[in-house]
Amino acid sequence: MPTGKLAVWWVVASEIVIFGGLLASYIMHRLAHDAWAEQAAYTNTWIGATNTMVLLTSSLTAVLAHQAAEQGNGPKAAKLLWATIGGATTFVVIKAVEWSIEISHGYTITSNTFWSFYYTAAGLHALHVIAGAIIMMFVAATAKKNLELHRVELIGIYWHFVDVVWIFLFPLLYIAK
Amino acid sequence: MSEHAEHTPTDYVKIWAILVVLLAISVIGPMFEIRVVTLITAFGIAVVKAYLVAKNFMHITLEPKFVSYFVVTALVFMLLFFAGTAPDVMKDEGTQWQKPAWKAAAAAAAMAPAGHGSGEHH
């Protein structure tokens, strides 16, 4: 296995422990406090679902970019990576609007423990989205010149992991009410 | 570099479409407000979606076995963490310890008028 790919899988395994620990903490607190359901009722399921849709679609463009890179078509891979970056940007913009609405209604990170978890988990995830989008810009720039095409797969693995994390955050923060 | 030759763009779009349908089910299911249905449609489907992404987009099954062992080991550590700390977090007393603040908060909540629960516990 190439060193870069090994490193990315190592990162993914590490991230599972980071997000896994956070989500496990959330779940045990949530199960212990029925009153959290009242707070969770204020999160907007439709905004969460829209962002899930955005990330699933960005995963599709990421895997298509990987496929284009495997076929040696760097420019096409770059275009698909930019589409993925577009998905990341859309996700972050929606999240910013959502948080603005919630904060304006008085639900801040210090409101109570549920909202502390909510902003911590979603915020940490959003930072991963932003980091992934920035890395993807560099990968797209080289891929466009048909250089370092193996990187397209590496950033793709990371991006799909970010998608998987959101797949679990969505029901935990938006559906379990 | 031909390891994914069996996938066509159409295959990936089909998997994406399945994921979108599963997303719709996970949103609609909990609307029935039946606990079992919510657990299956929200969390059961999340597991299925994660598996579909890991298998078809991350191609984890095409990687050497040790990659799966990496991931499973990380998940086991998460479960160990949960099992080791959950009793402390979720219970208000054990054989040699208790949480007086919790009990006081629960007693206060029981005496408070309905609808005044803040969800605040420490």
Query: In chain B, positions 100-119, which contact chain A (CB-CB < 8 Å)?
Result: 109, 117-119
Spatial separation of the C-alpha atoms in residues B32 and A118, rounded to whole Å: 24
CATH of the domain at A64: 1.20.120.80
Is A151 a member of any domain? Answer: yes
Residues of A in contact with B26 (CB under 8 A): 170-171, 175
User: Is A13 part of any domain?
Assistant: yes
Angle, helices A45-70/A74-104, rounded to nearest 10 degrees: 170
Whether A40 is covered by a domain: the verdict is no
Residue A108 burial (CB < 10 Å; 0-12/13-18/19+)?
A: middle
- Report the C-alpha gap between B77 and B59 in whole angstroms: 23
Q: What per-residue confidence (pLDDT) applies to B118?
A: 45
Q: What is the pLDDT of residue B102?
A: 79
Residue A169 placed within a domain = yes
Give B12 to chain A, closest Cα distance, Å.
Answer: 7
* Residues 113-142 in A contacting B (C-alpha not used; CB under 8 Å): 113-114
Q: Is A168 a member of any domain? A: yes
Question: Closest partner residue to B26 among A10, A14, A175, by Cβ?
Answer: A175
**pLDDT single digits (tens) A90-120:** 999 999 999 999 999 999 999 888 899 999 9
Q: How far apart are the first and last CA of chain B?
A: 53
In a domain, A9, yes or no: yes
Whether A170 has its CB under 8 Å from any CB of chain B: the answer is: yes
Whether pLDDT at A42 is above 60: yes
Q: In which domain, by residue range, is A115 found?
A: 3-27+45-175
DSSP-derived letter for residue A3 is H
Residue A33 lies in a domain: no
- Compute CA distances A140 → A2, A155, B84, whole Å: 20, 10, 43
| Gap between the Cα atoms of A60 and B13, Å rounded | 7
CA-closest candidate to residue B60, choices A149, B52, A45, A89:
B52
- What spatial distance separates the first Cα and last Cα of chain A, rounded to whole Å? 44
d(CA A59, CA A105): 32
Comparing CA positions, the residue from A50, A20, A65, A163 lying closest to residue B54 is: A163
Nearest chain A residue to B37 by CA distance is: A176
Q: How many domains does chain A have?
A: 1
Q: Do A35 and B4 lie within an 8 Å CB cutoff?
A: no
A14–B30 C-beta distance less than 8 A: no
Distance CA A152, CA A18 (A): 24
Q: What is the pLDDT of residues B4-46, one digit of tens each?
A: 556 787 899 999 999 999 999 999 988 888 888 888 888 899 9
Longest dimension (CA), chain A: 55
Looking at residue B103, its pLDDT comes to 80
d(CA B39, CA B43): 5
Give the Cβ contact number of residue A72 at 10 Å: 11
Yes or no, beta carbons of A171 and B90 under 8 Å apart: no
A-to-B residue pairs, Cβ atoms closer than 8 angstroms: 137
Q: What is the pTM of this model?
A: 0.89
